[in-house]
Each structure stands twice: as C-alpha cells, then as structure tokens.
Amino acid sequence: MRMLHWMCGFIKADRVRNESIREKVGVVSVEDKMWEVRLRWFGHVMRRGTDAPVRRCERLVLDGFKRGKGRPKKYWREVIKYDMEQLQLTEDMTQDRKSKDNVSYLLIKGLSRERVERTSKGMDLRPQKSQHGVYGHCLGDQKALLLKLKNDLTFDSSMSAKLIPMELSTLTQLVSLDLSYNYFLKLESPDLKTLVGNLSNLGELYLDDVNLNLNGSEWSWALSSSLPQLRTLSMTHCGISGPLDPALLNLSFLGVLRLDHNNMSVIDLEFLANFTKLTTLSLLSCNLHGSFPTKIIQVQTLQELDLSDNENLTSTLPEFPQRRALREVVLSHTGFTDLVHLDLSFNGFTGPIPFFHKAKKLNYINLSNNNGPLSSAQTQLAVLLSLPSLQFLSVQNSHLSGEVHEFSDASSSVIDTLDLSNNHLNGSIPRSIFKLKRLSQLSLSSNSFSGTINIEAIKGLPRLTTFDLSYNNLRIESDSTSFPFPVQMSNLRLASCQLQKFPDLKNQSLLFDLDLSDNKTEGEIPSWVWTVGYLNLSHNLLKSLEEPYHMSTTPSVIDLSSNRIKGNPPFLPADTNRFAKWTSSITYFSLANNKLTGSIPPSICNLDELQFLDMSNNSINNKIPPCLFQNADRLVVLNLGRNKLSGIIPDTFPPNCNL
C-alpha cells in the first residue's frame, strides 16, 4: 500500500482509505483476488461432466474418517457456500461462462468484496430472516438492481462520464449509500434532489469525488428536505460551493461532515456550530477565509476538527473547553500569523503536530501531557524549532514517536526551554540542539535516543542550567572528569547514560538536583556531593566515601542504594555534636543493598522530617534504636530487613503511627 500511496501522490495525512487507492489504480486486495480465483475455479468445476475426475472427488466417502478435536477445519465446499451467500448467487449461474451473471463476474470485473458488502448492506440486500425464522435471499428486482448498478458504474474509456441508474432512487428503505471514488461519475439524471428524494431513511451518504457542480443553496436544500435521518455526510472533491442554506439545520442528527477540497470560501463558519451533535468536521483545503470559528470549538460533542491547508484562515486560537470530547485538531498550513501563545496541554489530541510555519510571532508552545498519541515528529519538530520567535517548546509525555531531524538557524534561535521527555523518540539527538545559544533548560529523558555524546558538546550551550538525558540508549563520554559547563548548573540528570567516571562538579555551588543513578560509575563518592539538595547515586559500583564529610548543607533526598559501600553507615557518626551539623530537612534516606556493617546510632532520630528510611540488605548489627518506633508518627517507610540486628520490637505503636 505504501507504493500505491506514492503512485497516487497521497500521504497518510491525506486520510484516503486504502480501498479508494486500490480502486483508483485498478488493484484489488489479496483477499479479493483469492475470492475471485476460488469462485472462478468453482465455475470451472461445475461446468465439467459428472464423470470428470474433479467431479468424482466431490462424491468420495471416507470410511472411518473423523474430524479431530478442537475447531474443525473448513472444507472447500463450505467456503464456496459462504462466498456465494455473500453475493446472493446460485449454482445454476455457473453454466454460462460468458454470462454477466457468472459467479465470479462481480469480482473479475472490478467490484471489490468490501464494496459489494458495503453496497449490499446499504441497499438492504443481505439475507434477511423472515417471521418464521427462515433466512432467504434478496428479492429478484433488488439483485437485478445491484448488478445494474455495478455494470453502469464500470468505467468505459469510450465515455467521458457515467450516470447513476434511476432505479436507485426507488429504494426507500436504503440506510447507507456509498458512491464515492467512482471516477467520471456525474449526477445529472437523476440529479441530487431526485436521487435522494425518496430515501428518507438514509443515515449515511458518501459522494466523494462524484461530480455534483452545485452551489451551496442547491445541495443544502436537496439534502435537508429529503434526509431527516442523515448522520454522516461526506462530499469531498465534489465541485460544490457555499454559502450554506439555513435549511441545512434540518439535518438535526448530523454527526460527521466532510467537505474537503471544495471551494467553500463564502460559507459562514460560525453557522456550522449550530449542529449540536457534530462529532467530526473536516474542511481541509476549502479556501476558507476570515477568523478562526471560535464557536465550533465550543460544540460539546465535537471530537475531530480539520481546517488544514486553508492559508487564508487567520486569527488566534480560542479558549478550549474543559472537557474530554475534543481529541484531534488539525490546523497545519493555515494562516495563524498573529498567534503568540499556544497551550494545548493536558488534552487528548492525536495525529501530527501542526507546522505553524507562518506564525512568525509564536513564542510559546505547550503540547505536553496529551494522551494522543501525537505522531510524525521528524519534520514538524524541526519546523517548530526553526520558528524565529519561539522561546518555549514542551511536548513531554504525549506519546510522541519518530526521529527529530536537524533544523536550520539554530545559532540564531531564541528558544530558552525545550522539553521532549517521556515520549517514544528515537534515533540520534540532532547536533542542531547543541547550537541553541540561548537554551537554558534541555530535557530529553525517557525516550529511545541512541548514540554517543561527548560532553564537550555542552560548550555550545553557554546559558544551560538544566540538562536531562536520563533513561535513553545514550553513552556519555568525556575526555576528563571535569565537565565543561559554562555556567552554574541547577539540575543535572544523567541516569542510565553509561557514565563510568564520577564527574568533578565541585565548582557547581548552585547545583540542587544531581541524578547519576543506574550507571557503571566506580570509585568513591566525593565530599562535595553533600551540598546538593536532591542526590541520587543508586545502582552504581561505588565503594567508599571521600573523607572528611562536609555537610554544611543537608540534602533533602539521599539515595545511595544498590552500590558496594563498605564500613559503618555513612553520615551517622556516634557523637551528637558532629551529627548536629545536620539540619532536619532530610526526608528520604536509602542505603539499601550495600555492604555496610556497624550499628545504627540513636542520633538518627534527630532527623525530624525523615519519612523514608531504608537500610535493608546489609550486615548492620547491634540493637535497633528504640527511638525509631517512638517516632513512628513521622516515619512512613522503615525497612531494616536482612541485617544482623537484635533487640525488641514493641507490641504496640503510637495511635498516630504512619508506618
């Protein structure tokens, strides 16, 4: 199908159905081809004499043969019987090979299986159950009409257009009619009014690519006066135009409206907001003018809105209602030139990200926390990052997939914040990102980026204060342990980056958040780390701590779990004076899964804010300080398991215990 899309000049964003592409190029699906060959062979078999070997095989009886356990396999005759039921055919139609009533004719001459099923369903030609519970075939005149409809819509190169048979307008019980993508089909006799005049039960009407050539009042009145039950109307590329007639509001059940690729420049977009049950509105490439229809966004049932490829559609986006119905808005290639601030976060938008390439004043884009998924990141992100006024771009946690391409004019960009974390992005990180001279916050964590990054690349980011590459498939390399950050960092997160050397950041006096967990870092923990507010060095190969401990500023979170640290528990000296250097701000403290020995000093209870304490899976001995149980009103998690502790655990805990 990818090659067929390319041959027809379509891309996935055009949302053209596969069966439409196949019909346009004259290719049927594999399933249809198998169906055709199966019925062709059946006709061949049935025309052979009864004494022919192939016919004698039908009468074979195998003594003692039993079907195995489980679901029985289908026999050839059973499959043929099902196929013929779907087409309302009988075995006597196999005798004349050249007849148009031949069993394989419908498929051989180009009416696909899916189209047969859809047309049969719409014309109520399926086998129906009578009041006595017996299934029967469709009426003879209905079958004749189906064959006539198929024959009349078969393209003949000797004719410039095909007309619809008049008999179609007499099917008063019709609920679905699809005449779309029958190229060179023209509505003249009957015209649209005559065609649908008696189809009052019609709920779905597809006339895509049918030549109507009607103005707004003509087609609006023809439909609204005849189809009170209509729920779906698709008339893309039909040569229709506006303005819309107010009588169209008689279609009170209309939920899906697609008018793509028509000249609708004179229609009143606000008028469409009066369809209170509208779920899908698509006006792609309709030469729309004027301001964005703010009232349309307020339709409570609206789920999908496509106004793309209307370059004269301007103004700014409205307030989006606080509801979950709206999940897709496509505004690419529109003229939102005055757009400055765009915040669509915490919604359910899906599909490709709009380009907004003409919004030269746009400085803020927040598409984060959309449970889409968003897609096609490659080109869209590169275009957004090239916007001359953009300062903030966040698409984090939106199921964004694909690669990120290189983008132009990176050195002149004014972007300050770029957050693409928690998505499904892959490939290498574009080098253009490391040329954003005004970038101060860069977060690409929790993706699938791959490759090797030399830490020297950050020299191209002279204003960087937040740097997060955690949890990708990256490898961080450095010629030395000194990281060349040009400014004072506040947040550095390089978890799971295959970092083997502990970076020297002792000059980073403003560093608050340091996460170097899940690496292969060996050696000792330097003393300067105790100035960091959030410290995570877990899941490494660290063995010791540099002394003396300098604890002038106490971290609020310390996680040294899953290392190889030996000796007495760090930071827990026996004398109270040294421990008094600690403030009470620490809330999380984990030393689990190490090789610690010694005892737990009672001074640990002086940590008034401590809520999480995990020292499990070590070799700590002696007694458990009783004060840990007395302070159970503050502790939420206490894990001392798999040690060599002794002492008594009280039978009762305080009434306000939070453990």
Q: What is the CATH number of the domain that holds 579?
A: 3.80.10.10
CA 17 vs CA 14, 22, 182, 208, 309: distances in Å: 9, 9, 14, 11, 19
Q: Are residues 380 and 448 in the same domain?
A: yes
Q: Are residues 477 and 575 in the same domain?
A: no
Q: Which of 423, 428, 421, 388 is nearest to 404 (CA)?
A: 428
CA 634 vs CA 73, 74, 204, 353, 638: distances in Å: 67, 69, 64, 47, 11
Looking at 500, 520, 540, which one is the last position of a domain? Answer: 520
Q: Are residues 603 and 466 in the same domain?
A: no
Residue 520's pLDDT is what? Answer: 87
Residue 146's pLDDT is what? Answer: 58
Q: Which of 522, 520, 516, 521 is nearest to 494 (CA)?
A: 516
Mean pLDDT of 288-307: 80
Beta strand 595-596 with 401-402: parallel, antiparallel or unpaired?
Answer: unpaired
Q: Are residues 497 and 561 in the same domain?
A: no
pLDDT band (50, 70, 90) for residue 371: confident
- Residues linked to residue 281 through DSSP beta bridges, in sequence order: 257, 305
- What is the per-residue pLDDT across 372-426, written as a single tens digit (0 to 9) for each? 666 655 667 888 888 899 999 999 998 888 888 888 889 999 999 999 999 999 9
Q: Are residues 393 and 497 in the same domain?
A: yes
pLDDT band (50, 70, 90) for residue 99: low
| 172, 199 Cβ separation under 8 angstroms | yes
Q: Are residues 392 and 468 in the same domain?
A: yes
Q: Are residues 510 and 553 in the same domain?
A: no
Give the separation between CA 8 and CA 24, rounded to whole angstroms: 8
Residue 177's pLDDT is what? Answer: 87
401 located within any domain: yes
Mean pLDDT of 593-616: 87
Q: Are residues 514 and 561 in the same domain?
A: no
Give the separation between CA 173 and CA 124, rounded to whole angstroms: 7
Full domain range(s) for residue 628 = 548-658
Look at residue 255 and give its three-state secondary structure: coil
357 located within any domain: yes
114 located within any domain: no
Residue tagged 């791959």 (tokens): 450
H/E segment holding residue 401: strand 401-402
Looking at 469, 504, 520, which one is the last position of a domain? Answer: 520
Q: Are residues 486 and 347 in the same domain?
A: yes
Residue 158's pLDDT is what? Answer: 43
342 located within any domain: yes
Q: Are residues 452 and 578 in the same domain?
A: no
Q: Are residues 342 and 443 in the same domain?
A: yes
140 located within any domain: no
- E strand map for 207-250: 232-234
- 436 or 24: whose pLDDT is higher? 436
| 583, 554 Cβ separation under 8 angstroms | yes
Amino acid occupying residue 557: V
118 located within any domain: no
Average pLDDT, whole number, for the chain? 78
Give DSSP secondary structure letters for 43-74.
Answer: HHHHHS-TTSHHHHGGG---TT----SSSPPP
Residue tagged 């339709």 (tokens): 299
How many domains are contained in the chain? 2
Alpha helices in 48-199 (DSSP H): 53-56, 76-87, 105-108, 113-122, 140-152, 192-196
pLDDT band (50, 70, 90) for residue 228: very high
42 located within any domain: no
Q: Are residues 345 and 459 in the same domain?
A: yes
Whether the predicted pLDDT of 144 surpasses 90: no
- What is the per-residue pLDDT across 100-136, written as a single tens digit (0 to 9) for each? 445 444 444 444 444 444 444 433 333 333 333 333 3
- What is the per-residue pLDDT across 532-574, written as a single tens digit (0 to 9) for each? 889 999 999 999 988 876 555 567 899 999 999 998 887 654 4
252 located within any domain: no
